[in-house]
Amino acid sequence: MKKMQTLITQDDFQRIAEKPLLTAEELFVPLNRFHSILYDAFGYSLTRTQRVLRKTHNKKSKIWFQPQAIRFYVHDFLSQEGVKARLVDEKDVVEDDEVPFDPRVLPSNGIAGNIEGFEYRVFKIFKGGLPPPVSLKRKEYYSQPHLKAYKLMLPGLANYVTNRPALKPNLIYIWEVVKKSINLYVVIPEHHLLYATTKLTLIPNPITTMKQTEVEEDIDVEKPYLTKVK
């Protein structure tokens, strides 16, 4: 197993924060297809999970089982769509050839992967915000130590800022169920000590946007919308 990188300090974070990182909104276009798949994955997952939960009347079992079932079906859907993703176990260690997957997962753990060069994690919303970094592995992820080595532009080269390759920070996707529908947020972590104030940016649901466009243009077309549980 590779050696964990050292967590960055607050001074390091301040230097990173002053660099031209992407904003969450700037991810909508380049990652639009992935966001669409992710919304469909949760729609599929919510439907499947609801069917399973109808067969049990134990409220405690439902509270424990629901978030784990949702992430399992999301992971299953992503694999069907050719998106490589991994489940994360209770020790915050990703599944790979060297580390066997431990099925004793916690609801607050999620899914890990890489899309278009961006490392990402998918978590359930925690008290209206980002889940706390309860492990060293997660603290490292929130701290974004790979950005520390990024070099600032030399004086006099400000005109070339727009031509610089965009930094690719670690991303976090947060999900929540609201009135049987799913909301997805994208988060760019802001240091493991400042996670509680990190902004959640709602990702536009492509299905909802499509439906709104059809209403505005008076288009009467029936389509299956996976992102709402029937």
Query: Where is average pLDDT lowest: 25-39, 52-66, 187-201, 208-222?
Result: 208-222
Q: Kindly tell me if the per-residue pLDDT of 145 is higher than 70.
A: yes
In this structure, is residue 73 part of a structural domain?
yes
In this structure, is residue 2 part of a structural domain?
no
State how many domains the chain has: 1
Assess contact for 188 and 171: CB atoms under 8 A: yes
In this structure, is residue 229 part of a structural domain?
no
In this structure, is residue 36 part of a structural domain?
yes
Q: What is the pLDDT of residue 14?
A: 65
Confidence category of residue 225, pLDDT binned at 50, 70, 90: very low
Assess contact for 163 and 33: CB atoms under 8 A: no
Q: Extract the tokens encoding 3.
A: 């050696």
In this structure, is residue 228 part of a structural domain?
no
Nearest Cα neighbor of 142 from 12, 3, 1 is 12
CA end-to-end distance (rounded Å), the chain: 44
Confidence category of residue 76, pLDDT binned at 50, 70, 90: very high
Stretch 2-24: mean pLDDT = 65
Q: What is the pLDDT of residue 196?
A: 85
Higher pLDDT, residue 10 or 48: 48
Confidence category of residue 123, pLDDT binned at 50, 70, 90: very high
Q: What is the pLDDT of residue 31?
A: 94
In this structure, is residue 145 part of a structural domain?
yes
Residues 93 and 135: their CA atoms lie apart, in Å, by 10
Q: What is the pLDDT of residue 17?
A: 58
In this structure, is residue 222 part of a structural domain?
no
Contacts (Cβ under 8 Å, ≥6 apart) of 164: 20, 153
Q: Which domain holds residue 91?
A: 10-216
